[in-house]
Amino acid sequence: MRIRSIKIENIRGIKSKVLSMDLHPNHPAIFVAPNGYGKTSIAVAFKSIKRDRIEVDNDNLHQNDENSAPLVEITDDSGNVYRANSTSNAISDVFSINVINSQVKPKASARSFRGFSAATPSLAVEPIVLYNTIPSRVDFSYSHTEMKSRLGASAGKLLLNLKPKLNDPSFVKSISEVKTELARLLQVRNNVIIETFLNEINAIQGTKQSIANYSVDLTRIFGIQAVNILLTEFD
């Protein structure tokens, strides 16, 4: 599907404008124009398209007229028209819309000298505040001794102590990214396989090294997709 034209009405500096073009899918299109020719108005128009309608702030309505009706209309190469206005949105059913808002803003500092004023223009990025306060420290209630006890006598001997790793932010971040896989291990079918595996390990007597060297059938464990993903992430 190609876009043949885009119509915009009552948004910022555009009262009504039809942009005739030939936009190909997955090909970049670059709009080049001097200041004041409507590039920002086009961006605001598409940024204002929500899931089921257009929502335009009063400041972005044409001439700040609250009674004006904003509209974005796309026509494809087959003549199909997709429209978004203040009550409906058919554009998002067909097209994905992403508008990247640049944080660079123009600024000017003025100086007066003997009755004359001179301004110095510049571009600046406003400070971005991610947190108003530093988050409080969180301690993990992890006990290696308790985990060993829960696994069983022999399986517990093979358990690595994760306590030092939990002080590593990169490791904690990696754990947070596999929450879905960890949750899947608790599913009934997977849990039964894991419990059976642990029972087989706990039936083995000996030292940590002898238990680790013991031949155990791992077919069913490796049949759990979440286990394979975790092994890949934490080799």
pLDDT the model gives residue 25 = 86
Distance between CA atoms of 127 and 137, rounded to whole angstroms?
25
Q: Where in the chain is the domain with CATH 3.40.50.300?
A: 3-84
Kindly report the CATH class assigned to 3-84.
alpha beta
Sequence-separated contacts (24+) of 177-186 with Cβ below 8 Å: 177/233, 178/229, 178/230, 178/233, 181/226, 181/229, 181/230, 182/226, 182/230, 184/224, 184/225, 184/226, 185/224, 185/226, 185/227
Distance between CA atoms of 64 and 48, rounded to whole angstroms?
15
| Of 112, 225, 233, residue with least CA distance to 175 | 233
Q: Within 10 Å of residue 218's Cβ, how many Cβ atoms?
A: 10
- In order along its 235 residues, the chain shows pLDDT tens digits of 899 999 999 999 999 999 998 898 888 888 888 878 888 899 999 999 998 899 998 889 998 888 899 999 999 999 999 999 999 999 999 998 988 877 787 777 777 777 777 888 888 887 777 777 777 877 778 899 999 999 999 999 999 998 888 888 888 888 888 898 999 999 999 999 999 999 999 999 999 999 999 998 889 999 999 998 888 888 6
Within the chain, how many helices (H) and strands (E) appear?
Answer: 9, 6
